[in-house]
């Protein structure tokens, strides 16, 4: 089955700096890679996703890059703000009848 590793587990940055979270996956059949943000006590919510036919996708301060050859993808947050503080999960989805596999999460703290 799919195995997703996510690093780092915790990340502290100063407000205005950039944050990068990296994930690797094992199943070459995975073709969809979403990122979820979970604020304390809340449900995870999708913030950005990328499909295998795209190498990079950007939405304002958030961007995701995908390297299918190396089987890794990354989340980039620029100009971080205190409200970016949360736990971020990556995931890999092989589609078909296979389940989505989540990474173990990264707790991001943005220090004002």
Partner 1 sequence: SQTIHQWPATLVQPVGSPLSLECTVEGTSNPNLYWYRQAAGRGLQLLFYSVGIGQISSEVPQNLSASRPQDRQFILSSKKLLLSDSGFYLCAWSRGLAGASSYNEQFFGPGTRLTVL
Residue 108 Cα distances to 26, 39, 94, angstroms: 25, 10, 27
> By rule CB under 8 A, what count of residues binds partner 1?
24
Q: Does 102 bind partner 1 (CB under 8 A)?
A: yes
CB atoms within 10 A of CB 39: 12
61 and 78 in contact (C-beta within 8 Å)?
yes
Q: What is the DSSP string of 4-33?
A: EEEE-SEEEEETTS-EEEEEEE--TT--EE
Q: Does 89 bind partner 1 (CB under 8 A)?
A: yes
Q: What is the DSSP string of 51-80?
A: ETT-SEEEETTEEEEEETTTTEEEEEE-S-
Q: Which stretch binds partner 1 (CB under 8 A): 16-24, 30-38, 54-62, 66-74?
A: 30-38
Q: Does 103 bind partner 1 (CB under 8 A)?
A: yes
**Binder among 26, 39, 51, 79 for partner 1 (CB under 8 A):** 51
**Binder among 7, 49, 71, 72 for partner 1 (CB under 8 A):** 49
Q: Which stretch binds partner 1 (CB under 8 A): 17-25, 64-72, 76-84, 95-103?
A: 95-103
Q: Which residues bind partner 1 (CB under 8 A)?
A: 31-32, 34, 36, 43-46, 49, 51, 89, 93, 95-105, 107
């Amino acid at each position: 089955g799919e195995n997703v590793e996510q690093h780092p587990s915790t990340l502290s940055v100063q407000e205005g700096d950039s944050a990068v979270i990296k994930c690797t996956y094992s199943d070459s059949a995975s073709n969809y890679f979403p990122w979820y943000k979970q604020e304390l006590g809340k449900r995870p919510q999708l913030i950005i996703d990328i499909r295998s036919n795209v190498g990079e996708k950007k939405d304002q301060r958030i961007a995701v890059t995908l390297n299918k050859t190396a089987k890794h993808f990354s989340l980039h947050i620029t100009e971080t703000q205190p409200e970016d503080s949360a736990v971020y999960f990556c995931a890999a989805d092989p589609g078909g009848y296979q389940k989505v596999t989540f990474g173990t999460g990264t707790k991001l703290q943005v220090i004002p």
